[in-house]
Amino acid sequence: MNPSRNPFIAGNWKMHRTVSESVSLARAVADGSRIGPRTEVVVAPVATALAAVGKALEGARVGLSAQNVHWEDQGAFTGELSPGMLKDVGCAYCIVGHSERRQLFGETDANVHRKLLALRRHGLAPIACLGETLSERESGVTYDVLRRQLDGMLGALEREEATALLTGLIIAYEPVWAIGTGRTAKSTDAQSAHAYLRDRIRDRFGEVADTVRILYGGSVKADNAAELLAQPDVDGVLVGGASLDAAGFARIIQAAG
């Protein structure tokens, strides 16, 4: 990890845990994790538990993230939540563009771009996900996919506008073939993808690239977190199933230093 970028550890609980179970898990993470002085930790419970978890985490060194958002402030969008609503229940972060949203619910790069702008407008930090499928990886087009997704998410912004968007933006590289499969990208492969993304941002927008934190996600566990986090362009991890176990998640947090 680059010492100029604070390590960032996020737990995506996906569609797991009731409200009471989420509160218990959040308290266990907050009470049982030895969080380093520079490390930031965030959990993303289901939408129904956001308010209760936010209240349970008041005063703790664990932040609150939503798993999705709509780009409009209000309107006839049944089932959706706006950035203002998320902020109202204590969220400071929001995951957007996760591969499950892309594959199962038709999320597009253009919609992710809208969501990024909306979140930044409300002062929330997006955790923007991208990554290639197994077939794309085997076809040798990983970097083409990453470039298309990254450029689509950031849109056709001028450098000044892009700098404002990128300040506080967190990117999560999640190779789709490694999510929930037990397969993890080699640390060197993760580093190569992260370096490519940072170089692409630098080519388009300049030195702000050095401030953007890029996380790795995809079957992250306590026994592989340290090796991943040791890579110079891996600034943290986005953890799925392993974040549902407070003790295991605590070990991942400790791997960040």
Q: Which residues are known to be catalytic?
A: 98, 174
The whole-angstrom separation of Cα 213 and Cα 198 is 9
- Listed in sequence order, the residues at least 6 apart from 177 whose beta carbon sits closer than 8 Å to its beta carbon are 132, 133, 134, 137, 183, 218
DSSP annotation string for the chain = --TTS--EEEEE--S---HHHHHHHHHHHHHH----TT-EEEEE--GGGHHHHHHHTTTSSEEEEES---SSSSSS-TT---HHHHHHTT--EEEES-HHHHHHH---HHHHHHHHHHHHHTTPEEEEEE---HHHHHTT-HHHHHHHHHHHHH-S--HHHHHHHHTT-EEEE--GGGSSSS----HHHHHHHHHHHHHHHHHHHGGGGGG-EEEEESS--HHHHHHHHTSTT--EEEESGGGGSHHHHHHHHHHT-
